[in-house]
Amino acid sequence: MTTPAFTRLALGTSAAAALLVGCGGWRSPTGALGMLPQTGAITARIDQERSWMLPQARSEDLLYISDYYGVHIFSYPKVQHVGDIYGFASPAGLCSNQSGDVFVTDTQTYHVYEYAHGSTKRLKTLYDNYVDFNPVDCSVDLNTGDVATASLDAAFVVIFPKAKEVPKVYYDRHASMYHCAYDDKGDLFVDQIYTRHHNYIGELAKGKTTFRNYLLDGRIAHSGGIQFDGQRVAIEDLKSLVVYRLSFSGNDAIVVGTTPLMGAKYLYQYSIQRKALIGPDLYGDVYFWKYPKGGSPVSAIQGFTDPYGSTISAGH
């Protein structure tokens, strides 16, 4: 395996227009998750010895991007390639805690791996042997350090209190949960697809053991990735590639703002960093949009193979 060559593009109006391949190339979550490497590829892909990191990365804010081959690290906001972490079967969702530690969900091995900021050495491995645990997304409660994970087409979330190895499982048997995100109060939000015609977002409030379900605004055709932007819970519509900011009233999740993500085809786990939204497109590139304005991307990184997850890890 050679070190991948990544190229950052600054997109002016004409360059952005050339990338606007249309948002009609939508795939269902099942189709997208099918792009994950299958079990037969696991043995050939375990290659931790090729991991590397520049020494200066430890003092910088870092952008982590997962793709088919591993997790790739860039300085942020300069976006210079400073490292790669290998040794996964199918790296998917990424999240980070207050200390800058990064968690990588590895769906095919049923594990979540923790790495210190700017390091290629695994600090910890999290897993649950008692449920059908195929983690594809994760989020960290920045107040407590709890790590929540959503599994592949499962009716539960698994939470590791303070990132310890004794997990807790919270069920909502009528739902399929793919994505999750904590807000600043420690409430956990998950997408919940009940039927083809009714999409919900679930809230596991801090200290509670059952979900409260909110009916999503009807313009959200197929709910996807969830993030907390510092003020609002934001959820993506996988079909229209729009991120909607939500307000909650009664039993309804009401749209109070929109961020169109032009130029991409399929985004799984985007991340929001101050005034930027960073979205890995499963078709090959990672795009940067102004947030909450959206529209055409302002820049992109090329050179990935099926990029999947993203997170920002703060330097110290």
**pLDDT higher than 80, residue 60:** yes
pLDDT of residue 222: 86
pLDDT tier, 165 (very low <50, low <70, confident <90, very high otherwise)? confident
Q: What is the pLDDT of residues 192-244, one digit of tens each?
A: 877 556 789 999 999 999 999 999 998 998 888 999 999 999 999 999 999 99
**pLDDT higher than 90, residue 83:** yes
The predicted model scores a pTM of: 0.91
Rounded CA-CA distance 230/237 in Å is 20
Walk me through the domains of the chain, giving residue ranges and CATH numbers: 7-313 (2.120.10.30)
**pLDDT higher than 90, residue 22:** no
Question: Edge-to-edge strands of the sheet including 102-106?
Answer: 91-96, 102-106, 111-115, 122-126
Q: What is the mean pLDDT of residues 170-196?
A: 88
* Cβ neighbours of residue 120 closer than 8 Å, sequence gap 6 or more: 48, 51, 52, 53, 83, 85
| Torsion angle defined by CA atoms of residues 94, 96, 102 and 108, in that order, rounded to the nearest 10 degrees | -30
Q: What is the mean pLDDT of residues 60-82?
A: 97
pLDDT tier, 12 (very low <50, low <70, confident <90, very high otherwise)? low
**pLDDT higher than 70, residue 36:** no
Q: What is the mean pLDDT of residues 25-32?
A: 36
**pLDDT higher than 70, residue 28:** no
Q: What is the pLDDT of residues 265-295, one digit of tens each?
A: 999 899 999 899 999 999 999 999 999 999 9
Give the mean pLDDT of the chain. 88
Q: What is the mean pLDDT of residues 82-108?
A: 96
Rounded CA-CA distance 265/27 in Å is 9
Selected residue with higher pLDDT from 152 and 265: 265
Buried b (16+ CB within 10 A) or exposed e, 175-194: bbbbbbbbbeeebbbbbbbe
pLDDT of residue 20: 41
Bridge partners (DSSP) listed for residue 96: 102
pLDDT of residue 209: 96
Calculate ∠ Cα 244-247-253, nearest 5°: 75
Bridge partners (DSSP) listed for residue 201: 191, 214
**pLDDT higher than 70, residue 79:** yes
3-state secondary structure of 125: strand
3-state secondary structure of 8: strand
